Amino acid sequence: MDLNLLQPNISQQISSVEHLQVELLMLYGDSCDIGEGKHYTSLTRRGLKRLIKDIRHVQQHMQSLSSTYLIDAGGNTLLTVGHKYDHQSAMGGTSRASY
């Protein structure tokens, strides 16, 4: 998610954890128009419940996620998703993907 920060001093203060918080607010928060094309976004109980449900789902699938890959085109188009497998051969034990 690309988010342009208007004030340069703000972007210097935001760490990667805070970027994640911004993305989660954008995805799960409720937004209302506050005029002049601006929106106020906050996490409501409903949004928090959706976020917790999704996090539990991810936690349940963390092991399989470690062996999953995706191929995209320019970060905009998902081309394929699959599962990796270890191929012990003349390649010296390198991990290869199955398509």
Same domain (yes/no): 91, 72: yes
Position 89 scores a pLDDT of: 44
Position 81 scores a pLDDT of: 92
Parent domain of 4: 1-59
Same domain (yes/no): 38, 68: no
pLDDT top residue among 92 and 90: 92
Strand intervals (E) in 18-59:
30-35, 38-42
Same domain (yes/no): 4, 34: yes
pLDDT, one tens digit per residue, over 16-27 is 678 889 999 999
CA 1 to chain centre: 8
- DSSP string for 9-47: HHHHH--HHHHHHHHHHHHHSEEEEEETTEEEEE--HHH
Whose tokens are 């890959």? That residue is 69
74 band by pLDDT with thresholds 50, 70 and 90? confident
65 band by pLDDT with thresholds 50, 70 and 90? confident
Average pLDDT over residues 77-91: 74
Same domain (yes/no): 30, 49: yes
pTM of the model: 0.56
